[in-house]
Structures are given as C-alpha cells and as structure tokens.
Amino acid sequence: MQDPRREPEPRTVVITGASSGIGQATAEAFAREGARLVIAARDASALELVAERCRKLGAEAIAVPTDVTRPDEVAALARRALDFSGSVDIWVSNVGVGAVGAFHEVPLEAHEQVIRANLIGHINDAYAAIPIFLRQGHGIFVNMISLGGFAAAPFAAAYSASKFGLRGFAEALRGELAPYPRIHVCDVYPAFVDAPGIVHGANYTGRQLSAPPPLLDPRRVARVIVGLARRPRPTTMVGLPTAAVRLGHAISPELSTRLMAGFLRSYFARAPQAAPSSGNLFAPPADPGGIDGGLRSPDQRGAATVALAGLALAGGLALALGRPRRRLPRQGMGRGR
C-alpha cells in the first residue's frame, strides 16, 4: 500500500506541436505543475529552446523532433517517452495547420498536407498512445480541435474536413474506450487564438490574414488543458464565439456558412495584399514565434463587442429563419367530415 505521506510521482506528459503557440504555453503550464515533459515538433532548435524554458521552471523535459504525419516517428516518440519515464499519463495531440484560399486555387498537395497533419497526425498520436494507456490501465488523450470542428470554414475547405473528421474520430474512440473508465479522450474546441499559427499558415488568398476578435490568449487554453489533466471530460469549449458558432450552425448550417463566407469575402476585399505562400505546411517556419501571435491590441475591446454582437445577430437570424412557421387554421375547417 502506498504511503499517503509520500509525494505523488510527477506525471509524464507528451505534447506534440510544442515549439510555439498553444503547445509551448501548455508545456510551460505543465512545467509549473512539476510534470515530466516530452515535447515534440519538427523544428529541433525551437523545441530545445522550449525544453530549456521548462527546465528553468523546475521540470524534467526532453525534446524529441517529430513529424506527426510520419507514424514511424510518432512511434519512436512514444518509445522515447517510456524510456524517459516508464509511463505516459497524458498525451496532448496539438499539431494543427491551415491553408486559406478558394478551394480550386489552393494546390492539391496543400489540401492533402492539411489533412495529413490535422487528422492523420492526430490518429498517429492516438495509435501510439492508446496501447500504452491500455497496458497501464489509465491515461488521458487530449485532442486540440477548434471551433472549426463544429462549423465549416469557407476558404479553408481542407481545414474544415480535417476538424470535422477529427471530431468524429474522437467520438468513435471514446465509444471504443468506454469499458475503460480510467482512460479518457478529451476534445478541446477553442475560439480564435492569438498564436503564431495564424501568420505561419499557408495563404493563397493574395491578402494578409488575421483573425476576428476576441482572440484568446494561448495561456488560457493551456490552463484548460492542465485542468483536464485533473478532471477529464469529453468536450470543452473555450471562448464565447465557439458556443455561438456551434449554436448558429446547429440551428441553420446553410445560413451560418453563407454568412461566414460573406464575411470572409468582405475581409479579403479590404485586406492589404500579400504574396501567396505555403507557410509552415511542408517545413517549420524560420521563426517559430513563441507563444503569442501579436494580433491582440487594446483597440480590440471595442471590436470584440461588435464581433460578439454580430455572432448573436447571426445566431438569432438563423433561429428565426430555421424555425418552422405555423399555419393559421382556415375559417370553417374546424369540423371533421
């Protein structure tokens, strides 16, 4: 029997996509909790910098350069984690990329790479993690999805396909693992996050990309993930826009998608020009960028109010148009024949 006076063993946490943004913020948040960290991403030098920051926060941490689209590298990551600690308690599947542009103008290989990273990459993570959890009898698999898992994103068709697919994959996996009460699959759906990924993503629109306010701090999302490590639950939405978008899409998917497409067309017409780029799809960015994307500003408070009002209006309009109309009874039709 374990001595209750002994300090509990630190948990081992694997985090993919840990070289910047939400992944880096999550690594640092777990480091403050005293976890043993195994962090992974394609960029070895950026990854080692994050590992060093975690060590300075008092955690044991190793960096394992990994491309999650390659199942052999993900399997090797799992082996390194077991060699490092002997177990894996939490696996945060965090890799996510995007390609923005009209579907027929985005190169087919870009669409394919988005699916490989955002969907197949998470499947590779789960394929490595779940057998470990089953042998141990416990484990938490955290899927970083996005509000794009609830509502389609026009001009990001492959991204939408990957996020819808990832939500379905996670739900199916939870069904299979239901007989194992100490194994959890937790989906996280943040709204737009002020992380470097927005600027690093592939852009075939010819216009500079940004994101509508209110933008989440990646550290807030990281705190949610750490909270799930304590109290796992299947679905967690982060940020009011996620709930608003989910509601609007549930009421009238066609209308909400058209409203979003109209909003994006209007934005592209006004945004400054930019050269097309494949961004970080096929190689790590030259500058990983740290945790923050630099898109938030004090002016966004007013803009956030306008954006949220627009979401509420869109949801109300969808509700009004999606509600079936009642027919008034005709005069003299009260009797049966």
Q: What is the pLDDT of residue 165?
A: 97
Q: What is the pLDDT of residue 325?
A: 44
Q: What is the pLDDT of residue 8?
A: 60
Pick the closest to residue 294 from 20, 98, 18 (CA basis).
20
Distance between CA 290 and CA 192 in Å, rounded?
17
Residue 93's SS3 state is: strand
Where do runs of H (alpha helix) occur along 90-217? 108-115, 121-136, 157-177, 197-200
Distance between CA 6 and CA 63 in Å, rounded?
29
Residues 68 and 74 sit within 8 Å (Cβ to Cβ):
yes
Q: What is the pLDDT of residue 331?
A: 41
Reported pTM: 0.85
Read off the pLDDT of residues 58-84 as tens digits, 9 standing for 90 and up.
999 999 999 999 999 999 999 999 999
What are the DSSP E strand ranges found in the chain? 12-16, 36-41, 60-65, 90-93, 99-100, 139-144, 183-190, 202-203, 235-238
CA dihedral sign, ordered 186, 165, 312, 269:
positive
- Tell me how far CA of residue 109 lies from CA of 7, 106, 162, 335, in angstroms: 50, 8, 14, 66
Domain 12-321 sits in CATH at: 3.40.50.720
Distance between CA 259 and CA 192 in Å, rounded?
17
In the numeric block, which tokens belong to residue 311? 């979401």
**What residues are annotated to the active site?**
159
Residues 51 and 23 sit within 8 Å (Cβ to Cβ):
no
Q: What is the pLDDT of residue 169?
A: 98
Q: What is the pLDDT of residue 271?
A: 87
CA 68 to chain centre: 15
Residues 93 and 188 sit within 8 Å (Cβ to Cβ):
no
Consecutive 10-residue runs of the chain (337 residues): their mean pLDDT?
A: 54 97 98 97 97 97 98 98 97 97 97 98 98 98 93 93 97 98 97 91 92 90 97 94 80 81 84 93 92 75 40 43 44 39
Euclidean distance between the first and final Cα of the chain, in Å?
A: 80
Q: What is the pLDDT of residue 243?
A: 82
